[in-house]
Amino acid sequence: MRENQKKDAPWILSWIMEYECSQTELTTRLSLKAKLENIRGFDCSNDDWKIESVPDKNWLKESYKQFPPFSVGGFFIYGSHYDSDIPDKQIGLQIDAATAFGSGEHGTTKGCLLAMQDLKDSGMCPWNVLDMGCGSGILAIAAWKLWLTPVLGVDIEEESIHVTTRHSNANDIKIGASAITCEQGDGFAAPGVQERKPFDLIIANILAGPLKDMAGDLKAVLDENGIVILSGMLNEQADDVLKIYEGLGLNLKQRYDLDEWSTLVLQDTAA
């Protein structure tokens, strides 16, 4: 399902097969498979399928067309296949669709990028940034390019660390303590987080459940008057997440609702 597809939209299934299969054969095989797997409510007919020959073309080039460059606020996001100039007065982020979340198209990522841009425009200049659940590294890279300040990216998935490192190198950012550091670890218990705390800007684009569960741990490594950007939640989940963080002394500064997704910007005022 595409990132911008509605939750209740119908699914479209596609297969590439080595031989031409008739509509009757395809329907029969899928119906038998559904019965064997005890999938209830599966109903299809021969009229549901359209069979076409696959044209002989450069599919790598065709796939690139699915990821054209685009802008989010002052950021210009493009893949490695883009060979033109970065638009004037925009910050280029070279990010390829990869095995870790965060190509820039999703509403949660967009919300974080807009929030960071607005913080920059308001005069914020953090000295120690944490990207918790860094995924592809897009937010860590954006933070570095905005402020040229040390950024720690942490993710529980080793693959995310590999992807973040690769994207940092592609954006001419050296991996190291003075720029971007990547660490695989269990959230805020990761050694790097404990060694480098407190952070005056923490970005966490994850999911509503983990955001609520980690609230206390996040607050424990946040600097006095520090700023938090939270995303990964649906619009209807945002108030529940906000309530937990407000209970810890963080107040809402800004909320971004993009499609069905919300991003919250909070500030610690309990010090």
Q: Which residues contact 183 (CB under 8 A, 6 or more apart)?
A: 152, 153, 154, 161, 190, 191, 192, 193
pLDDT digits (tens, 9 = 90+) for 11-24: 677 777 777 778 88
Q: What is the mean pLDDT of the chain?
A: 88
Quick one: CA torsion of 85, 89, 94, 100, rounded to 10 degrees? -150
Query: How far from 147 is each of 126, 179, 184, 254, CA to CA, in Å?
Result: 7, 10, 24, 20
* pTM, full prediction: 0.77
Given pLDDT bands bounded at 50, 70 and 90, which one contains residue 4?
A: very low
Where are the chain's structural domains? 12-54, 106-268
| Structure-model confidence comparison of residues 164 and 51, the more confident one | 164
Find out whether 244 and 255 touch, Cβ atoms under 8 Å.
no
Q: CA 170, 75, 141: angle at the middle one, nearest 5?
A: 40
Closest by CA to 76, choosing from 63, 87, 61, 60, is 87
| Furthest C-alpha separation in the chain | 69
* pLDDT tens for each residue of 96-152: 876 556 566 789 999 999 999 999 999 999 999 999 999 999 999 999 999 999 999
- How confident is the model over 186-194, as a mean pLDDT? 95
The tokens of 42 are what? 């599966």
d(CA 5, CA 7): 6
The type of residue at 267 is Q
Please state the rounded mean pLDDT for residues 217-231. Answer: 97
Quote the pLDDT of residue 3.
41
> Is pLDDT of 9 > 60?
yes
Query: What percent of the chain has pLDDT above 90?
Result: 66
CATH class of segment(s) 106-268 = alpha beta
Provide the pLDDT for residue 106: 87
* pLDDT tier for residue 2 given thresholds of 50, 70 and 90: very low
- Mean pLDDT over 229-239 rounds to 97
Q: Which of 185, 96, 174, 209 is nearest to 132 (CA)?
A: 185
